Structure 1
Amino acid sequence: MGVSYDKLWHLLIDRHMSKTQLIKEAHISTNAMAHLGKNEDVRVEVLVKICDALSCEVDDIMEISHK
């Protein structure tokens, strides 16, 4: 089982927002962003902060693949 944050990157493009802007608005660490960029696991708290900053739901920013 793996995770993909491609939906997050597309959402940022649609909203003309950079990763740096998201880090500042969501109050997440650059380390957390690095993990997201590698499709690695992050804490649920990080996902909640991103969803709060973007006014969206978790399934709007990530997908779980069952391989």
Structure 2
Amino acid sequence: MKVSYDKLWKILIDKKMKKYQLREQAHISSNSVAKLSKGEFVSMEVLLKICETLDCDIGDVCEFVKNNEDNANA
């Protein structure tokens, strides 16, 4: 399974917020933002800070998606 942060990027667009602004307001590292941009896993602490900053739930910023390999093995 992979993680998708497409919902997060949509929220940022809707709020007219840049990634650097999210980083500053949520007090997360640039490394965490880079991981988010690459669709990599980040800690629950980072996700919590983002959710608190954007006043939303974790399901509003990320979701799990199945890999093609996962579908082939099912």
* TM band (smaller chain): over 0.9
Corresponding residue of 1:57: 57
Corresponding residue of 1:13: 13
Shift in Å, 1:66: 2.5
Shift in Å, 1:14: 0.1
From the CA coordinates, give the structure whose radius of gyration is larger: 2
C-alpha separation in 2, matches of 1:18 and 1:36 = 13
TM-score by length of 1: 0.97
C-alpha separation in 1, matches of 2:19 and 2:65 = 24
Q: Return structure 1 stretches of 4+ with deviation > 3 angstroms.
A: none
C-alpha separation in 1, matches of 2:41 and 2:12 = 19
C-alpha separation in 2, matches of 1:37 and 1:16 = 17
Task: Name stretches of at least 5 consecutive residues in structure 2 with no aligned partner.
Answer: 68-74
Q: Which amino acid aligns with 1:51?
A: C
C-alpha separation in 1, matches of 2:66 and 2:44 = 19
TM-score by length of 2: 0.88
